[in-house]
Amino acid sequence: MKKTSTRLADGRELLYYDSRDDTVRDAVDHRPLEPVATTPEIRRDPLLGDSVAIAGHRQGRPYRPPAGECPLCPSKEGRLSEIPDDDYDVVVFENRFPSLAGDAGRCEVVCFTADHHASFADLGEDRAALVLEAWTDRTAELAELPEVEQVFCFENRGAEIGVTLGHPHGQIYAFPFVTPRTERMLSSAADHRARTGGGNLFDAVVAREISDGERIVLATGHWVAFVPYAAHWPYEVHLYPRRRVPDLRALDGAARAELPGVYLDLLRRFDRIFGEGQPPTPYVSAWHQAPFSAAGRQDFALHLELFTIRRTLGKLKYLAGSESGMSVFINDVRPEEAARRLREAASA
């Protein structure tokens, strides 16, 4: 992998990740951009105790532009974009409309391919491995920023999810606090450790799913994927390395080598569960990594949560009163049935 750092016209950092070591990246961003002036604010909810990012400037971000005006496609003669070069493998750059910035963290955009009409599932294993290297590198660099407490790599796909740019891409959020979801996991892990005299909750969850077997979607030498016993979403898969590690940086060589194929397999199953020739399945793909300084980091387990809000063809799972108002999820698909369908969706 070759990494090249440059700056966009407004001063934001852009990083090229190339599979070839001899790739030269010297294109210059000639757009007449003013420096980014953003003032995201983190406010604490006194009742729930969680943090909310207030980012009013995001109202002006691009909203579903046509392919010919896509800001994530490479720059071509007569049309300049966020990526100055006319082609790329993987690119990471600071978001022009960030939810977090300055002392309130950092937001980055990750472009997986220059092909506007592709998806992550269309990538080969070599390109998926390059994305994994980019995720790992960004986690390592962002961890060094004094204001950053947790790094979150994720991808949202599909207009149904709320994606505003059709080009295949993901994001990285560097939070200045431990997210509420992670705090709850750490609290549950601490309770489990106290109850069991030192047992690890994540290890227990994975062991239970392997022992039960009914919700296993796929298992390899270094990874196991399953629909969780209490799945919140119609089709939801959790992917864990068999050897527990806190974040992407800690994966060993064997697990790292196997991950691209496993991840692509899961994404392609999601696109097949509703039948061949159907619209691409909207999904959220979220990597959960341990916070850097929180108590319990040593007990946390890196894992992926992949889920869709589509419960059947033409029907979506909306967050209605119970979910939005009280955070009590009601799942219309039994996890065992979801796992069976995802097993059947394996490629021939």
Q: Who contacts 146 (Cβ-Cβ below 8 Å, separation ≥6)?
A: none
* Secondary element (H or E) of residue 238: strand 235-241
Residue 178 contacts residue 149 (beta carbons within 8 Å): yes
Q: Is 347 helix (H, G, I), strand (E, B) or coil?
A: coil
Residues paired with 315 in a beta bridge: 312
Q: Which residues of 176-191 are buried (b: 16+ CB within 10 A; e: fewer)?
A: bbbbeebbebbeebee
* Tokens found for residue 265: 């397999």
Residue 343 contacts residue 270 (beta carbons within 8 Å): no
Q: Is 226 helix (H, G, I), strand (E, B) or coil?
A: strand
* Secondary element (H or E) of residue 211: helix 201-212
Residue 223 contacts residue 240 (beta carbons within 8 Å): yes
Q: How many helices (H) and strands (E) does the chain have?
A: 6, 15
Torsion of CA 138, 141, 147, 150, to 10 degrees: 50
Q: How far apart are CA 7 and CA 245, in angstroms?
A: 34
- Positions marked catalytic: 169
Q: How far apart are CA 86 and CA 24, in angstroms?
A: 12
- Torsion sign across C-alpha atoms 92, 97, 99, 104: positive
